[in-house]
Structure 1
Amino acid sequence: MRKILLLLIPLALSGCDWGIKLDDSARNVRTAWNGDVGSCRDQGKITVSVTSRIGPVDRNDLKVRDELEVMARNEAAKMGADTVKPLGEPSNGSQDWGAYTCGSRTLTPTRSDTPPPPPANTTPQGGFETVPLKN
């Protein structure tokens, strides 16, 4: 019984981030990590929070930060903003973000269903050829 309990604890802890997904509308919301929003229009402030501790155990800091960014981007999309910028460091699973509209500075999706054409000469001198893998 004790072994089963020890196996279930990591499984329960690993399932904490299953519900936080990037919304389709938030895919075009960029994160201005460099803080460059000088030519953008301020849309307001977003405060997001996730669980940073489960009992006495701290969650992985990188996972917490990733989830906070995803949540901020989701909220920005709901506000009509296209850019978010962290306004400070996360504290106890909570973080403030600024939401901005930067217009033409937004990132557009670059993924395409058609692969780019291969270069004219893909065979190097050694006679080996490299080909891209399909996604």
Structure 2
Amino acid sequence: MRKTLLLLVPAVLLSGCTWGITPTPASQNVRTAWNSDVSACRDLGKVTVSVLNHVGPVDRNDIKVRDELQVMARNQAATMHADTIKPLGEPSNGEQAWGAYQCGTRALAPAAGHAPAGNPPDASSETGGTKTYPIGG
């Protein structure tokens, strides 16, 4: 019984590594400008957030840590009435600084040398004005 308990306790503790970090309703309106130029936006300040990046000797998943840092930054930015955040550097020891901006409805321009993600080129410029649409479902 005692050996079983000793094996179950670490498993239960490590399984609860979500830490309960969830987006607030207000943060749903905060976007992340990963590679965008925010120079036309109003700078509202800096947000520094931190999470545990290891539990004892065990390092937490880097992607999970980064995701939690972004959620926390969006939550904090929403309290500042910001609608855009941008990382100011890479995470270090579970901590990361973010810039909080108010861009309004302005489209964010891609940073120099970066193509906008998810925006395909205008079909009319490549096909002489013809647009194609997918068929089927």
Quickly name the TM-score band, shorter chain normalised. 0.7 to 0.9
Which structure 1 segments of 5+ residues have no match? Answer: 107-121, 125-129, 131-135
In structure 2, the partner of 1:30 is 31
Q: Give the Å deviation of 1:29.
A: 0.1
Secondary structure of 2:69's counterpart equals: helix
In structure 2, the partner of 1:119 is none
- Distance, in Å, in 2 between the alignment partners of 1:92 and 1:67 is 13
Secondary structure of 1:20's counterpart equals: coil
In structure 2, the partner of 1:81 is 82
**TM-score of the two chains, using structure 1 as the length reference:** 0.74
In structure 1, the partner of 2:130 is none
* Deviations 1:49-97, CA, capped at 9 Å, x for gaps: 0001111110010000000000000000000000000000100000000
Identity of aligned residues (%): 63
| Counterpart AA for 1:4 | L
CA RMSD of aligned residues (A): 2.1
- Distance, in Å, in 2 between the alignment partners of 1:26 and 1:105 is 18
**TM-score of the two chains, using structure 2 as the length reference:** 0.73
- Distance, in Å, in 1 between the alignment partners of 2:31 and 2:106 is 9
Secondary structure of 2:34's counterpart equals: coil
Secondary structure of 2:101's counterpart equals: strand
